[in-house]
Amino acid sequence: MMDCERIADYFRAVYEGDSDAQTGKMVKDHLKSCAACREEFKWYGVTIQALANLEQVAPPNDFLKQLNARIDKNSSIFQSIISQIKNLMNAIPTAPVPVGAVSLAFVTFCAFLVYNYTPPELSQGGKSGLSLNSNAQNGAIAVDSASRPVDSGMVASAPFSPQTAPFSHAYVPYDGPGRSSSVAWRFPTVADEIGADNLTVESPQMDLALKSLKEILPDIQGKLIDEKFRNAFGEALVGVIIPSSRYGDLTSALVNYGAIEVGAKSLESDSPAPTKVDSRNVRLYIRFTQAPK
C-alpha cells in the first residue's frame, strides 16, 4: 500500500483519469482506507472546481473600437518616426549611406575639431604682437616691430625649426615670412601657449639679451613676474609687469641700452597694446629665442 506522502503526487492523474489502471487502483484503495488522504483528495477536487467556477468576465462593449483607436494612434506615432528618418536620409546627399557610418563620421569630425581647438586668446596674438628680430652681433637685438602683416596668427617671428619644436600639437594659423595671406601649419611654442601681448626677441646671444632686459626693468619701474627656460628648444620666456606709460620706454630702453638696433619703423607707432593688469600697469610676456648665428 502506498504511503500518505506519496499518494498526493497521484491526485492530478487520478482526478483527471490520466493514470494507468494499476496506479489508479492503488490510489483508490489507499483513499478508501485513509480518511486524511481522502479529505485531502476532496480538497484537491474542490480547488479545481472552484477555479473552474470563477465568474466569467467579458470585455467592454466598445473594446474593438478602443483597440482600433489605440492601434491607429500607435501606427501614427510609428509612421511619424519612420517618415522623420526617411526625410533625414533623403536630406543627406550620400544616402543611402548607413546611419551608423554617417554618425561615426560625424563624431570623428567633431572629435577632430575639439582636439585641434585653439582658444580665442591664442588666435588674437598676432593682432597685438610685437616682434623683435635681432640681426645684430654681440647679442644686440634688432626691432622688427609689426613689420609684417599678421592678420590671423600668433606672434611668431621665427619660422619653424627643429629647435623650436614644441611639445603640444595645437593648430595655429601662421603667416610665415613671405606668406602673409596664407595659413600654414606650425607647431606652437611657449609663447603661443601663453597667449597674446608678447614680444618675441630673437638673439644670437640670448643670455645677453635676457640680462639686458633685467637691468632695464628697475629703471622703468617694472618687475619680473615669470621666467621659464626651455633649453631643449633654445628659448626662454619672461613675464613682466610694467607701468602702461612705460611700455614704449621698455623697447626704447632696450635700444638705448644697446641691446636693440632700431629697425626702419618706429617702435611707438606700431606697438600693440599689451594686457592691462589694472589702470596703470600692463603685463607683458617676452619670448627670447636663439637666433642662428
Partner 1 sequence: MTLDLETILNLICLTLASVSLVGSSTDNRDDDEELVKRCAGGDREAFNDLVVKYQKKVFSVAYRFVGDPEEANDLAQEIFTAAYQNLKSFRGDSKFSTWLFQIATNRGKNRFKYLKRRGFFTNKGSSETDDEGDQSHRALPDQTANPEELLSGNQIRKAVIEAINELEPDHREIVILRDIEGLSYDEIARILDLPEGTTKSRLHRARMVVKEKLKKVLS
Q: To the nearest whole angstrom, how small is the minimum distance from the Cβ of residue 80 to partner 1?
A: 15
Of residues 98 through 127, those in contact with partner 1 by CB under 8 A are none
In the complex, the smallest distance separating the C-beta of residue 168 from partner 1, rounded to whole angstroms, is: 54
Using CB under 8 A as the binding rule, whether residue 11 contacts partner 1 is answered as yes
The answer to whether residue 227 forms part of the interface with partner 1 (CB under 8 A) is no
CB 247 within 8 A of CB 159: no
Distance CA 39, CA 6 (A): 15
Q: Which stretch binds partner 1 (CB under 8 A): 11-19, 20-28, 200-208, 241-249?
A: 11-19
Q: Is residue 260 within 8 Å of 254, Cβ to Cβ?
A: yes
Point out which residues pair with 229 in neighbouring strands: 236
Indicate whether 269 belongs to the interface with partner 1 (CB under 8 A).
no
Nearest-approach distance from CB 39 to partner 1, in angstroms = 8
Which of 29, 260, 283 is closest to 131 using CA atoms? 260
Any contact of residue 278 with partner 1 (CB under 8 A)? Answer: no
Q: What is the DSSP string of 66-102?
A: HHHHHHHHHHHHHHHHHHHHHHHHHHSTT-SS-HHHH
Residue whose CB is less far from partner 1, 4 or 67 = 67
Of the pair 26, 48, the CB lying nearest partner 1 is at: 48
Closest approach of Cβ 42 to partner 1, in Å? 5
Angle of CA points 178, 157, 180, to nearest 5°: 30
61 contacts partner 1 (rule: CB under 8 A):
no
Q: Shortest gap between Cβ of 89 and partner 1 (angstroms)?
A: 22
Crossing angle, helix 206-219 and helix 247-257, to 10 degrees? 130
**Per CB under 8 A, 264 contacts partner 1:** no
Which of 3, 22, 60, 91 binds partner 1 (CB under 8 A)? It is: 60
Q: How many residues bind partner 1 (CB under 8 A)?
A: 35
The single residue among 22, 56, 94, 231 that binds partner 1, judged by CB under 8 A, is 56
**Cis peptide bond upstream of 274, omega within 30:** no
Q: Burial letters for 155-182: b for 16+ Cβ neighbours within 10 Å, e otherwise?
A: bbbbebeeebebeeebbbbbbbeeeeee
Site for partner 1 in 23-52 (CB under 8 A): 39-40, 42-52
Residue whose C-alpha cell is 633649453: 231
Residues 277 and 93: their CA atoms lie apart, in Å, by 52
Long-range (24+ apart) CB contacts under 8 A made by 7-15 are 7/31, 7/34, 7/37, 8/37, 8/40, 8/44, 11/40, 11/41, 11/44, 14/41, 15/41, 15/44, 15/45, 15/48
Residues 74-103 vs partner 1: string with x where CB under 8 A? x-----------------------------
Applying CB under 8 A, among 3, 5, 20, 55 the residue interacting with partner 1 is: 55
Where in 128-167 is the site for partner 1 (CB under 8 A)? none
59 sits near partner 1 (criterion: CB under 8 A): yes
State in angstroms the smallest separation of the CB of 74 from partner 1.
6
Q: Which residues bind partner 1 (CB under 8 A)?
A: 8-9, 11-13, 18, 39-40, 42-60, 63-64, 66-68, 70-71, 74
